[in-house]
Structure 1
């Protein structure tokens, strides 16, 4: 068999033919071609293959693949799962008798250099046998039925077959006549073979059907954002069944550098995908950017789904601008689910970024108790400081881990956000949950980094030239990191941004409860394996602490309202204490980096023995409204330095400015192939005219991503917009809507859409 590269053919053909595919007008052309072939072969006495029907819809339904739009919109695409059987109907130019008259061979090829020994090619002789005889990890074939000139053939796909696009050829000749003329047909059909979580012999096998429905087949979900403890679910249209997604996945896999024979290993495939969703090392899917300057692309907060990103990448073959962690994770979730790997989006609130893999997160203060910022010369030698993000989003994928000791399979962390390199590339995982929980930093991949994200201690250092290294350890906080780890639980998606009925707390899957002996054993087990961590954990704290501090913890602040930063101090000693206080309020990026200072107040508190006092700072709407950035996060930081002792205290309160949800009303029953009127509305909460207004809408399976300009909205006025949905098939999906303007952005809403038969 000559070598072919199906990937280049696939991408070129898809990009050139995408709009034609949308119009669904190729069926007549294909039918005419087949008629010509039939007439040419009918007069021949030698056996020839007239056509092969791969029965894409029938096979897709059997393989849980019937929702892939490629199956409905293209006649030359078959979507299957490995480990399953699929049928094909072969039509010859003469009466079929495969056990006596004709000899039929099938060739399945994968990658640029197909090879039987490497598992990237299969040669199947259709001998006329009617049973499958080989084991689940091998190709096999049987004849199900012979009827006139047609034979129905069933093929078994190995459970470890490489995942991707396979090409197919068939050859027929007279049986038992070595010199007889052979007729070979290569088919344009692309056979997508995916992972199979329904098959117990597949490395991605997930036993529970409810979990498979959620983590493989659900195409709309949530990404949890905000700051601990005030979280909310952001709706996202994953859209893994869209007809642009699988071809885009193939392009990413081809560019990943993973050899064709290794693409059946979920460990290697998931690790490669964590690299390919970012563009730092290669022509990956998304360009990451965190500086707030997005004029030459789209702001990360203005994406509401993966389909537009995936199709743009496929059309242009260039990285899409821009993404941040929740966009990386949501797109990676789309890709994994499209390929058949069970996957979920996970958010870690108060997520540590440990730059030197020491396990503690280091915060530095000068002699006066003021925090040393990142660009100060006292930061770590690399010039990069440890940090704690308000939240960080990654993915869990489900798989067995034959490369690890028993007991470390199940959920594995992969992270596409480019933070640190691993094996020379910006990739992360798969890291076993169980390895993270036990502190087994010796097990691959990237367990130390993920462990620090969810369970690092926060160590505060004060400048002191009299000690080795120039800093003395003051305090250690053991419960400031990994405060809450959330994912969307299996089941219906709640359609209110702040509803909590569909969130699942999975913190316990990553670590034992904070403060328990098991939790300390886990972190100390990891520390013993890391030299820098051993040094930190062995150093004693030096602070004398006799003042009790607390900062008022606020809930969300409705946009337009004022709020107060309140500090309470109590002197538990028998001596007078004087406290220097610095209170600051700033808008924040979700990474914990400051965007704009909103307000600052310096003061002093004089405390008699056993006395309690408060200090407050009022923040007005006029102070903060023009300084908000993505996610509308505000952080209040209070730094206190006790003059008479070495005690230094830093407290913070993270809050999110709350904006109204968008109201979506479906005005009539949703029936297939009939217009469905909907109304979208919200009340403008601020006393400003909203200009440059745009609605972004997405409803996988019903409506492709759409941007709709709308008229200006008056101060404190009401926005109302009406339009029709035009569902083309019976489906249950969710309509996701986002509103943006120059003055007010990232208002969101969602509504379940159930389309019934006509």
Structure 2
């Protein structure tokens, strides 16, 4: 019955709670039919009253068949669109005239019309959308097959056995032991998340450890991430996220709506979601984004407290969102877009402003290009738009711009982005700009008038990549998002995007016979950085170039520190030849400026005979490694040991350091704290590992400190195999 103060557009509150449904019983123990006779019908002659003695959910058998055996949960975990088997132990053998049914309920106030109360029948009587079948009988034990609808609601169900007593239904008591979790099924062709090959299903649903790419183009690095989607409490934490945002129970079978809600709820920007973003250098109230090794600790902390967890940046948002989707059975992978355009008002222009003397005007440059940005792709069929847009969909949880009033992005079909068809939901235009913006170089005169002198159509979205299927390698997916630059298909895409409102740059820039490039090689942190600046003269006359070169520290968001090295120089260029200036930047020069960052930003501007050229380059410095060794026989439920070692190679003290180790089905997050690690000092820590499942296992270790972060190691090069 509704409370006296309830007011709304629906007859009652929309059910939006799964884990904490009302504690009261769902039914009375005996529920009379509305048209029942006053006198109960008699039991068939010679037969006892049929009652239920017990229900065996056959958890181990079902989970093995449903690829859910790795979930650490008390209740059975199965997938929709696929039969599972329940044994019901009755008080006697069932007779042809006996009438019983199974009932599956999810959320508060379940209703057949909302598919949150499902009746499964086993005779000629009609039931709900789930199929029931009597598979066998051994005395009083009846084996029942139940096949949930491939569009069924995802979450935690309560199970009842109901027996028709002639004038009503007699039901079993509410029993947590008969609860079951129902997930999406990428093995079922009728489920919208069906993935067409087994290797992909293993990688994008079952793999609990992965790689998130960082760094810069030409110097790509790896961050190892433990998704941990099968860990204890993780499935409940993912359901709790949907409860926290009051997502209606009846919408939780719709994968598009689940992804859209998740992209909003993984950040806390305006809905008290999971993670608080922080792109400053002050993380004193929480955990540095670089110190996380995986999603489990974050999700469990959010579930236990109900408060947002501090702090995250883009790869943390992507890693946690990937865990959420994989946990619910939705194929997902993390994508990194190198040179990702941001803050460009959704158009296709990222403008960099320079002063009259050729030096950068950072005060008037409002757009930014992130060294990299991470988001997720979820695989699904789209029935809300033309089916040709099915497949991988961009889903981004990093709070950047609002979409329908919330900080979220997607799902946006990748194929629509590639073809510039930006009219389809959701947020295709924003993602399109992230990978396709033109970089427009502007020179400002004394009156503030901006004149373009260069347009670079290849810098943004230079590389998009993800982890390879079945290996630790890099898989490039740039071709999924864009056609080759200069191709007829690419031009057609850009024209189509303009028709849907994207503003392209059509600046006419003066032709030039002068060009410049910056050349670097992968460099370890603490080594001398060698930079070559090469000017090329394509004219038939010699010339002299006056050039400006500067070096600064770059945050991965594209924000630059003040330059710490500035050089003015000239180069003579013979006709049709090039000339190179080389600069060496010592660690003594750049290390004090780096702080906790690992990127150097190089910028060069040159002018000769009225022709102006400019170029930028970002170099990701490779941090020192950790080493991991193992001792003992890797066997399920047997103790072995892992030793992690690190030597500080620098002539400086590392401050407030944390050594973090984590491995899915190996060990929970283990942290060792150090106030300081002195110059050239070594640390060694050994922890016990107890493998919980056979097969290849991976341990992730990470060292993070205030003045040096992202020193990571994944034992992929010595990945060990656990025996049963």
Fold conserved between structures, TM > 0.5: yes
Counterpart for residue 43 of structure 2: none
- Contact kept? 1:99, 1:127, Cα under 8 Å: no
- Does residue 505 (structure 1) correspond to residue 473 (structure 2)? The answer is no
Counterpart for residue 57 of structure 2: 54
Equivalent-residue separation in structure 1 for 2:572 and 2:704 (angstroms): 48
- Does residue 260 (structure 1) correspond to residue 249 (structure 2)? The answer is yes
Counterpart for residue 227 of structure 1: 216
Counterpart for residue 451 of structure 1: 432
- Contact kept? 2:275, 2:309, Cα under 8 Å: yes
Equivalent-residue separation in structure 2 for 1:163 and 1:748 (angstroms): 36
Counterpart for residue 320 of structure 2: 331
Counterpart for residue 97 of structure 1: 94
Distance 1:171 1:308, change over 3 A: same
Q: Which moved more, 1:247-256 or 1:717-726?
A: 717-726
- Does residue 67 (structure 1) correspond to residue 33 (structure 2)? The answer is no
Q: Structure 2, unaligned stretches of length 5 or more? A: 3-11, 24-46
Counterpart for residue 586 of structure 1: 552
**Which of residues 258, 268, 273 in structure 2 aligns to 1:269?**
258
- Give CA-to-partner distance per residue, 1:325-377, whole Å, 9 cap, x none: 1111111111111000011111111111252222222222334433332x43x
TM-score (norm 1): 0.84
- Give CA-to-partner distance per residue, 1:63-122, whole Å, 9 cap, x none: 11011011xxx2xx1211110111112233x21315324x32322122333221222221
Equivalent-residue separation in structure 1 for 2:137 and 2:484 (angstroms): 63
- Contact kept? 2:520, 2:532, Cα under 8 Å: no
Equivalent-residue separation in structure 2 for 1:472 and 1:691 (angstroms): 47
Counterpart for residue 105 of structure 2: 109
Counterpart for residue 516 of structure 1: 487
Counterpart for residue 663 of structure 2: 699
Distance 1:344 1:9, change over 3 A: closer
TM-superposed deviation, 1:154: 1.6
- Does residue 185 (structure 1) correspond to residue 180 (structure 2)? The answer is no
Equivalent-residue separation in structure 1 for 2:595 and 2:439 (angstroms): 27
- Give CA-to-partner distance per residue, 1:557-587, whole Å, 9 cap, x none: 2222222433233455577866553322112
Distance 1:67 1:596, change over 3 A: farther
Counterpart for residue 118 of structure 2: 122
What does 1:394-473 correspond to in 2, within 5 Å? 394-463=375-444, 470-473=449-452
- Contact kept? 1:5, 1:112, Cα under 8 Å: no
Counterpart for residue 162 of structure 2: 171
Equivalent-residue separation in structure 2 for 1:280 and 1:251 (angstroms): 18
Equivalent-residue separation in structure 1 for 2:562 and 2:445 (angstroms): 31
What does 1:298-377 correspond to in 2, within 5 Å? 298-353=287-342, 355-373=344-362, 375-376=363-364
Counterpart for residue 562 of structure 1: 528
- Contact kept? 1:166, 1:190, Cα under 8 Å: yes
**Structure 1 runs, 4 residues or longer, greater than 6 Å off:** 1-7, 606-611
Equivalent-residue separation in structure 2 for 1:216 and 1:282 (angstroms): 27
- Contact kept? 1:589, 1:631, Cα under 8 Å: yes
Q: Which moved more, 1:208-217 or 1:451-460?
A: 451-460
- Does residue 740 (structure 1) correspond to residue 704 (structure 2)? The answer is yes
Counterpart for residue 625 of structure 2: 661
Equivalent-residue separation in structure 2 for 1:602 and 1:555 (angstroms): 23
TM-superposed deviation, 1:608: 7.8
RMSD (Å) for aligned C-alpha atoms: 3.0
Counterpart for residue 238 of structure 1: 227
Equivalent-residue separation in structure 2 for 1:612 and 1:199 (angstroms): 60
Counterpart for residue 496 of structure 1: none
- Give CA-to-partner distance per residue, 1:658-706, whole Å, 9 cap, x none: 2222111112321233321222223322123445443200011111111
Counterpart for residue 601 of structure 2: 635
Equivalent-residue separation in structure 2 for 1:519 and 1:239 (angstroms): 39
What does 1:476-487 correspond to in 2, within 5 Å? 476-487=455-466
Q: Which moved more, 1:351-360 or 1:577-586?
A: 577-586
SS in 1 for 2:385: coil
Equivalent pairs, count:
688
Equivalent-residue separation in structure 2 for 1:279 and 1:148 (angstroms): 56
- Give CA-to-partner distance per residue, 1:641-660, whole Å, 9 cap, x none: 44x42x33221221122222
SS in 1 for 2:330: coil
Equivalent-residue separation in structure 2 for 1:85 and 1:400 (angstroms): 22
**Which of residues 282, 293, 297 in structure 1 aligns to 2:286?**
297
- Contact kept? 1:438, 1:522, Cα under 8 Å: yes
TM-superposed deviation, 1:5: 10
TM-superposed deviation, 1:294: 0.7
Distance 1:447 1:183, change over 3 A: closer
Q: Which moved more, 1:53-62 or 1:685-694?
A: 685-694
TM-superposed deviation, 1:171: 2.2
- Contact kept? 1:49, 1:185, Cα under 8 Å: no
What does 1:210-221 correspond to in 2, within 5 Å? 210-221=199-210
